[in-house]
Amino acid sequence: MPDKKPKIALKDSYLAMIKNAVGSNMFRGFYLVTSGRKSEITNDGRLSCAFFVSTILHFFGLVKDPHLTVAGLEKDLEKSGWKKIARPKIGAVLVWEKAYNNKTWNDHIGFYAGNDRAISNSSQNKKPTTHHWTYKGKRKIEAIYWNEKLSS
């Protein structure tokens, strides 16, 4: 009897990648060329939250494309079958309200890690970090997204 092709343990692999990204410099520095001029648009990792989240989601085929904005990623989440839920599950995508930072209003997105913890890109540390999921009540959650592919 021939061996069956191995199947990815999607949820376990997905959660491991999120957890293992903490402290990584991988999401610093993303360059675009516009009209022949190159620019680094993540501000050395300060603005990398959508890049971090979408890269992991794209790797596992859970969104169509990587994104550099929260708005673009949210549109892709909805088109890719993610649904808004009322209570977070481990691995859910969290979208926080806008916050005023560095003289501008910024969206923010990350992952729910369980036990009132989240993992998202830190604008101060310029890399993914673990923190309280509501920043200890200082930042409201605007949306929680879940994909049923992660339920098994």
Does the residue 58 lie in any domain? Answer: yes
Does the residue 5 lie in any domain? Answer: no
Contact in structure between 107 and 99 (CB atoms under 8 Å): no
Does the residue 122 lie in any domain? Answer: yes
Q: Whole-angstrom Cα distance, residue 50 to residue 13?
A: 20
Does the residue 2 lie in any domain? Answer: no
Read off the pLDDT of residues 2-28 as tens digits, 9 standing for 90 and up. Answer: 668 898 999 999 999 999 999 999 999
Which range marks the domain in which residue 27 is found? 10-150
Does the residue 4 lie in any domain? Answer: no
Read off the pLDDT of residues 37-50 as tens digits, 9 standing for 90 and up. Answer: 999 999 999 999 99
Domain count, the chain: 1
CATH code, 144: 3.90.1720.10
Does the residue 27 lie in any domain? Answer: yes
Q: Whole-angstrom Cα distance, residue 119 to residue 107?
A: 15
Does the residue 28 lie in any domain? Answer: yes
